[in-house]
A and B are shown apart, each in its own frame.
Chain A
Amino acid sequence: MLLTHEHNELRRTVTRWVEDEINPHIDEWEAAGIFPAHEVFKSLGDRGLLGVHKPEKFGGMGLDFSFAAVMAEALAAIKAGGVPMAIGAQTDMCTPALAQHGSDALREEFLRPAIAGEYVGCIGVSEPGGGSDVAALKTTARKDGDDYVINGTKLWITNGTQADFCCLLANTGDGPIHQNKSLIIVPMKTKGVEVTKKITKIGMNSSDTAQIFFDDVRVPQRNRIGEENKGFIYQMQQFQYERLWCALNAAAVFQRAIDITVDYTKERKAFGRSLSDNQWIGFKLAEMQTEVEALNALNWKGVEMVVAGQDATKVATMAKLMAGKLSRTLPDGCLQFWGGMGYSDESEISRLYRDARLTAIGGGADEVMLQILTKYMGIFGSNH
């Protein structure tokens, strides 16, 4: 895909924004285990960066997904994975279904402020009993008059402690597991929503992750996105954006890992020469660069399909799988060349190594990607 001058300008604007507004604070936010989401999102919203591919009618830019893809890549300049993940959760995880299938009133109430950066959103899919196994979710939304009454628990919720609304996937019927769920927008200040303390993790420290309890939470049925019991399908469509976003961002993070490692190995002297003068190191870095290039090819094939209005689920799944696999080898391979420095908190590579690991788990684990792909290949186990 040939990128335009405007794509390049978007990349430049996001990069400058990261350098001016984010990176100077990132160490502080990492230490605090949270970043000021409302402040950061407002700053993005003011620059038109939260609604890149959202309808203009609700304050978005109405551009195609290739611009959102460029932004996902450019956010990798942030020197911690938590903040870009939180931004991605807002733009490409908890709002695509709302933008695509939500009623005008619902979009006016939640999408417009999410694009403006006034509202922080989160996506409520995973539960203690299952995350990647979306069909097994236990949370229920029972009809009562004009309302839904919601009961259940959601886990691993990015932005969870700061969010104004949750795009919640809940069971609304008794039918087959793929036809009994709905996506419902739940304002987080509703009575009965209880957010437990932040979950500590091995990485992504600047992003708050919550467990959320829903205890007889009453929201109007008009907060449902689209048709009742179509939630699973909507979520699968929404996952296409989430997975591509993850893969695009991961590829750019891997590129940063390679770039900083090239710089470090040129600088660092051992046994009378630069580390980079060792053929082994050069070969490993060249191999990793090839892997990133291959991932990018897959990513942008997916982007092109989305832009062309085609179903990119298969390619997005492959891209996410490949990003996940690389997240377990590439940052590790880079870190190795940093030696003791790589194991210390003082190096950029150690945080990147910890943060990247989530790529193989979040947004559907690698094994779930494989399961989806076996269905495309017609070799999925017969007991399902």
Chain B
Amino acid sequence: MKVLVPVKRVIDYNVKVRVKSDGSGVDLANVKMSMNPFDEIAVEEAIRLKEAGKADEVIVVSIGVKQAQETLRTALAMGADRAILVIAADDVHQDIEPLAVAKILKAVVEAEGPGLVIAGKQAIDNDMNATGQMLSALLGWSQGTFASELDVDGDTAVITREVDGGLQTIKIKMPAIVTADLRLNEPRYASLPNIMKAKKKPLDEKTAADFGVDVTPRLEIVKTTEPAARSAGIKVGSVDELVAKLKEVGAV
């Protein structure tokens, strides 16, 4: 079985995000970019399936600007076998929306024939949480979202999902789309020999046009603003005073 893992190049989680002065979005020029952390978890899960003998090949795919090849190299260094880069934008500020990504992924799935797609549950840049679900709908495949455990067994997969108030276990038919939640695994970091080997692994370059997908945005960003600065706290002298203050602001 082949496993396909889509990975997105996003602003590094450690970077303090700055809103562009015209409010059109977040400033990404000369900012450190990395693989979306949820996608890293998805890559790790796919590699573990391969190591467990349940998958033969791990293919990673990224859709976006040319620089996303670095993100793919990171996945290759972790242990993915080969990569596909779909160039869909020239400007780092152009986000490819979930529907366009899902359509391209559908075409990649049809070309590559994987039995399983593992994606991050969402990208940390815009938190859409939609691509996996849309891809499932377009392909007519089962979906197991927010997976914190995945057990693939022949024609079925058992998935533990993190839902409000607890864990839900579902059994779905393969082929399937699974989206990774934070606790699915702890992704490995590459050894230096693997970092160097990743340079030589195959990386195919395509464009969105190759798949006949129009990536023109359907959403219009009206405004982007910084979160309000945290207002100053107050010191209280006793528990009674604390309770009184909490009541005052309606917190208890």
Partner of A48, one of B34, B73, B189, B191: B191
Give CA–CA (A141, B77) in the complex, Å. Answer: 47
Q: Which of the listed residues B70, B77, B192 has the most CB atoms from chain A within 10 Å of its own CB?
A: B192
Q: Which of A24-49 contact B (CB under 8 A)?
A: 46-49
Find chain A residues with CB under 8 A from B199 CB: 6
Does A9 contact B193, Cβ atoms closer than 8 Å? no
Nearest Cβ on chain A to B35's Cβ, whole angstroms: 10
Does B70 contact A48, Cβ atoms closer than 8 Å? no
Does A52 contact B192, Cβ atoms closer than 8 Å? yes
Q: A6-B199, A9-B73, A9-B74 are in contact. Are A49 and B189 (CB under 8 A)?
A: no
- Residue A371 interfacial (CB < 8 Å): no
Does A16 contact B189, Cβ atoms closer than 8 Å? yes
Does B189 contact A6, Cβ atoms closer than 8 Å? no
Find chain A residues with CB under 8 A from B196 CB: 6, 61, 63
Return the CB mask of B156-195 against A: 1 if under 8 Å, else 0. 0000000000000000000000000000000001111101
Does A10 contact B191, Cβ atoms closer than 8 Å? no
Interface size classification for chain B: 10 to 19
Partner of B192, one of A5, A8, A10, A16: A10
Find chain A residues with CB under 8 A from B74 CB: 9
Nearest Cβ on chain A to B4's Cβ, whole angstroms: 23
Nearest Cβ on chain A to B85's Cβ, whole angstroms: 13
State the majority secondary structure of interface residues on B.
helix
Does A61 contact B193, Cβ atoms closer than 8 Å? yes
Find chain A residues with CB under 8 A from B193 CB: 48, 61
Give CA–CA (A142, B42) in the complex, Å. Answer: 62
Does A10 contact B189, Cβ atoms closer than 8 Å? no
Nearest Cβ on chain A to B39's Cβ, whole angstroms: 15
Nearest Cβ on chain B to A175's Cβ, whole angstroms: 42
Return the CB mask of B188-212 against A: 1 if under 8 Å, else 0. 0111110110010000000000000
Does B192 contact A47, Cβ atoms closer than 8 Å? yes
Closest to B14 in A: A15
Give CA–CA (A49, B196) in the complex, Å. Answer: 12
Nearest Cβ on chain A to B43's Cβ, whole angstroms: 14
Partner of A13, one of B34, B70, B191: B191
Return the CB mask of A1-26 against B: 1 if under 8 Å, else 0. 00001101110110011000000000
Nearest Cβ on chain B to A381's Cβ, whole angstroms: 46
Q: What is the number of residues of chain A that contact chain B, defined by CB distance less than 8 Å?
A: 17
Q: Which of A98-121 contact B (CB under 8 A)?
A: none
Give CA–CA (A178, B195) in the complex, Å. Answer: 42
Give CA–CA (A63, B34) in the complex, Å. Answer: 24
Q: Which of B57-108 contact A (CB under 8 A)?
A: 70, 73-74, 77
Does A13 contact B73, Cβ atoms closer than 8 Å? no
Give CA–CA (A17, B189) in the complex, Å. Answer: 8
Find chain B residues with CB under 8 A from A10 CB: 192, 195
Nearest Cβ on chain A to B7's Cβ, whole angstroms: 15
Return the CB mask of A244-265 against B: 1 if under 8 Å, else 0. 0000000000000000000000
Nearest Cβ on chain A to B74's Cβ, whole angstroms: 6
Does A9 contact B191, Cβ atoms closer than 8 Å? no
Find chain B residues with CB under 8 A from A48 CB: 191-193
Give CA–CA (A52, B191) in the complex, Å. Answer: 11
Does A49 contact B192, Cβ atoms closer than 8 Å? yes
Closest to B34 in A: A12
Give CA–CA (A47, B194) in the complex, Å. Answer: 9
Nearest Cβ on chain A to B47's Cβ, whole angstroms: 16
Q: Which of A322-340 contact B (CB under 8 A)?
A: none
Closest to A8 in B: B70
Find chain B residues with CB under 8 A from A63 CB: 196
Find chain B residues with CB under 8 A from A12 CB: 34, 189
Closest to B193 in A: A48
Give CA–CA (A52, B196) in the complex, Å. Answer: 11
Q: A9-B74, A9-B77 are in contact. Are A61 and B189 (CB under 8 A)?
A: no
Find chain B residues with CB under 8 A from A6 CB: 195-196, 199
Nearest Cβ on chain B to A69's Cβ, whole angstroms: 14
Nearest Cβ on chain A to B8's Cβ, whole angstroms: 17
Does A46 contact B195, Cβ atoms closer than 8 Å? no
Give CA–CA (A49, B192) in the complex, Å. Answer: 7
Find chain B residues with CB under 8 A from A9 CB: 73-74, 77, 190, 195
Find chain A residues with CB under 8 A from B189 CB: 12-13, 16-17
Can you list 25 A-B pairs, Cβ within 8 angstroms, ordered by A? A5-B70, A5-B73, A6-B196, A8-B70, A9-B73, A9-B74, A9-B77, A9-B195, A10-B192, A12-B34, A13-B189, A13-B190, A13-B192, A13-B195, A16-B189, A17-B189, A47-B192, A48-B192, A49-B191, A49-B192, A52-B192, A61-B192, A61-B193, A63-B196, A67-B192
Q: A12-B34, A48-B191, A61-B192 are in contact. List 13 more A-B contacts (CB 8 A).
A: A5-B70, A6-B195, A6-B196, A9-B74, A9-B77, A10-B192, A13-B189, A13-B192, A17-B189, A46-B191, A47-B192, A48-B193, A63-B196
Enumerate chain B interface residues (CB-CB to A < 8 A): 34, 70, 73-74, 77, 189-193, 195-196, 199
7 closest pairs, A vs B, by CB?
A48-B192, A16-B189, A47-B191, A48-B193, A9-B195, A13-B189, A5-B70
